[in-house]
Amino acid sequence: VLVLDLVLPDMDGREVLRSASHICPECKIVVITAHGSVNIAVEAMREGAWDFLLKPFAADKLRETVKKALAGPSVLPLKNVEEFGDHDTDQMYFDIIGGSENMRDIYRIIENAAPSRATVFITGESGTGKELAAEAIHSRSERSSDPFIP
């Protein structure tokens, strides 16, 4: 588990995040920052963050987050994600159809977002599958037995 502040004195925390995610894809990176926004959190998750904490936060919150990171699998299971070919749309990931590299990236983001207790904000044009993505995240989360409320 790596706890990383995005604002570092002599380097860019986002660059460290990208490098760490590339060097150690199985590492769980908890990003912390006092200068957060939804856009920054989304970008951090896309770049490999496992969770995102906004300063100030209680020490218990950090302990709980690290404990969850250590308790979970070291590599998140990517069910069905690697099975897709570039143009194979006969298979589905939950109710989402698509096997392009861009879609596989979305499936990986869903898999990484699901274990987090952080609020997920999904944006996009009408008809792009935002609700399908939300349902997939819910289905893969610890709270999947609770009702899904769109």
What's the CATH code of the domain at 27? Answer: 3.40.50.2300
**H/E stretch holding 15:** helix 13-23
Neighbours of 111 (CB within 10 A): 19
Asked whether residue 55 falls in the same domain as residue 85, the answer is no
Domain boundary among 56, 75, 94: 75
**Across all residues in the chain, what is the average pLDDT?**
81
* 66 and 90 together in one domain: no
User: What is the structure's pLDDT at 72?
Assistant: 66
- Residue 36's pLDDT is 79
Confidence band of 92 (pLDDT split at 50, 70, 90):
low
Mean pLDDT, residues 37-43 = 82
Q: Which domain holds residue 144?
A: 77-150
Same domain, 65 and 94: no
| pLDDT band for position 86 (cuts 50, 70, 90) | very low
Most confident of 21-25, 51-55, 102-106: 51-55
Q: Looking at the structure, tell me whether residues 50 and 108 fall in a common domain.
A: no
Count of domains observed in the chain? 2
pTM: 0.52
Q: Are residues 117 and 85 in the same domain?
A: yes
Measured over the CA atoms of residue 91, residue 142, residue 127 and residue 40, the dihedral's sign is negative
- Pairing of the two strands 92-93 and 96-97: antiparallel
Confidence of residue 60 (pLDDT cuts 50, 70, 90): very high
